[in-house]
Amino acid sequence: MEIIRETIEDLKEQYLADDRPWVVTYSGGKDSTCVLQLTLSMLQELHVQGLDQKHTYVVSSDTTVEMPVIEKYLQTKLDEITTFASKTNLKLSCHKLSPKVEESFWTLLIGKGYPAPTNTFRWCTERMKIDPATEFLSNLVNKHQSILMLLGVRSAESQARQASIAKRKLNQRGLTPHEHIPDAYVYSPIKHWSNEEVWTYLSNVKNQSTPLPWKDHNYMMSLYDKGSGEADCNIALNPESPSCGKTRFGCWVCTVVEKDRSMEGMLHNGEEWMQPLWEYREKLYEWRKPDSGKRDTRRRNGSFGPGPFLPQTRRELLQSLLEVEQETTQNYHHMKKDAPDYNPDEKVELIKDEEIRLIQENWDTDGDIQKSAFRIAQQFGRLMDESVETPLRNKLEKYSNTLNIDLFERIYEIEAYRKNISTRYGVIKDIEKRVVDFYAGEYREAN
């Protein structure tokens, strides 16, 4: 196609115009793959001429709660690109950006009790995508004085995207100053490409004039067939990026939308082993509702209103998450054992050990005196070296004949959890309810 040659020549012109290093945002979707493939072809042509004098950073976002098939696919592609750059001596490196553990989805939801995100309380996007990208890109600007970001956005994606691109202010080279990062500029090399042109280009990998890290894009195309919609979720800080929750492949825990069409498409098209993930996501969607009984009736500051997940809810969520992790791994091995790339040692890891440790720290602050997170994790063979003993628990054991330790723990938890509330009335009411509920439960068990 003539448009391919024209785009590569445009890329060369931009590359040779200054010393700014390039940042290619790569999600693994068709549009970002198209931009990266064009860039790799262009770099190899310049490399032959000895003109590839500056570095190119391939940057991807990993929220750590991506669908397992997408996470595996993206990591495979990044590894292939890294190996390819080394073999061809290209000045190119891959970088996967993740949130800090204290800002991860599970640390905030299970550790601190944040309710699952909604359209009005979308606490996840900034912490899990925007902040990691901002930090990385800002550091690049500080190191190199300026950078140029290449984005895989196209006017043909939607009317909203077309209007957004049309409103952008361009300098004489067709670059857009980034809205949030000083001295960072944005360039969209395929903004006028059609959907058909993108797919045609990606379908003809074998006919390209320069080598590429991949033989074909068949697996990516199969993922698109299994999912739904057309947009891919590009890295954050993309001025025209689609809203989270409306993209083809987003976080498997996303509750911003009522139904996760991507996951449902996967389940109906050969990836049934992920069914437990879908069920857990549905649980989060229902439990976040203020009338679910799973959330506090007070906010953290003590004011009345839908608050965080209750401590007991958070324990249930961690227990259930580790059960889902175990079941999903078993399902994966059962369904994929005859696949060519099957690895019998592979595990589906949904939550990291360091997240569980930080969850426990948050629970300690909220009055958990029996190291519940560690006890739950150890049921599944995780964090076996962590002690579940506490000084207070050990002291209480001495009085086990005259003291109901379980009830004491629940009351202590309320006192610690409510420590910032100014009025004691609310605390006393909570304790009274906990005592009544506790003995009512014991009565039911006895009868």
The pLDDT score that the predictor gives to residue 274 is: 92
pLDDT attached to residue 438: 60
Q: pLDDT (tens digit, 9 = 90+) per residue, 373-396?
A: 999 999 999 999 999 987 666 666
pLDDT at 91: 97
Rounded to the nearest integer, the mean pLDDT of the chain is: 85
Contacts of 256 (CB under 8 A, 6+ apart): 117, 118, 119, 122, 244, 245
At residue 268, the pLDDT reads 85
pLDDT (tens digit per residue) in 145-198: 999 999 998 885 544 444 444 445 566 577 999 988 999 999 999 999 999 999
Enumerate residues 6+ apart whose C-beta is below 8 A from 221.
202
Pairing mode, strands 56-61 and 184-187: unpaired
In what helix (H) or strand (E) does residue 438 lie, and over which residues does it extend?
A: helix 424-446
The two tokens of residue 242 are 């689609």
pLDDT of residue 246: 44
What number is the average pLDDT over the span 421-429?
59
Q: What is the pLDDT of residue 225?
A: 80
Tell me the pTM: 0.83
Residue 234 is predicted with a pLDDT of 47
Q: Does residue 55 or residue 404 have the better pLDDT?
A: 55
Q: Average the pLDDT over 404-417 and give the result.
A: 67
Local confidence band at 7 (pLDDT 50, 70, 90 cut-offs): very high
The pLDDT of 303-330, averaged and rounded, is: 94
Percent of the chain with pLDDT over 70: 78
Query: For residue range 262-314, what is the model confidence (pLDDT) as tens digits?
Result: 888 888 888 899 999 999 999 999 999 999 999 988 787 777 889 999 989 99
Q: Which residue has the tokens 């190191």?
A: 143
CATH number of 2-249: 3.40.50.620
For residue 200, pLDDT beyond 90: yes
H/E element, 378: helix 372-378
- Across the beta sheet with 22-25, the strand order is 92-97, 56-61, 22-25, 147-150, 184-187, 176-177
Q: Enumerate the H helices of 89-193 as residue ranges.
A: 105-106, 123-125, 131-144, 159-167
C-alpha–C-alpha distance, residues 427 and 159, integer Å: 53
User: Among residues 30, 71, 27, which one has the least CA distance to residue 277?
Assistant: 71
Long-range own/partner contacts, residues 261-266 (CB < 8 A, 24 or more apart): 261/227, 261/228, 261/229, 262/67, 262/227, 262/228, 262/229, 263/67, 264/228, 265/226, 265/227, 265/228, 266/67, 266/69, 266/226, 266/227
pLDDT tens digits, residue range 291-300?
A: 999 998 878 7
pLDDT tens-place string over residues 81-131: 999 999 999 999 999 999 999 999 999 999 999 999 998 889 998 999 999
| pLDDT for the residue 270 | 84
- Strand 147-150 and strand 22-25: the pairing is parallel
Query: Which has the closest alpha carbon to 178: 199, 150, 200?
Result: 150
Report pLDDT for 241: 47
d(CA 13, CA 219): 33
Q: Are the CB atoms for 24 and 59 separated by under 8 Å?
A: yes
Greater pLDDT, 227 or 217? 217
Mean pLDDT calculated for residue range 227-231: 49
Which element (helix H / strand E) includes 147? Answer: strand 147-150
- 26 Cβ contact partners less than 8 Å away, ≥ 6 residues apart: 32, 33, 35, 36, 58, 59, 60, 77, 78, 235
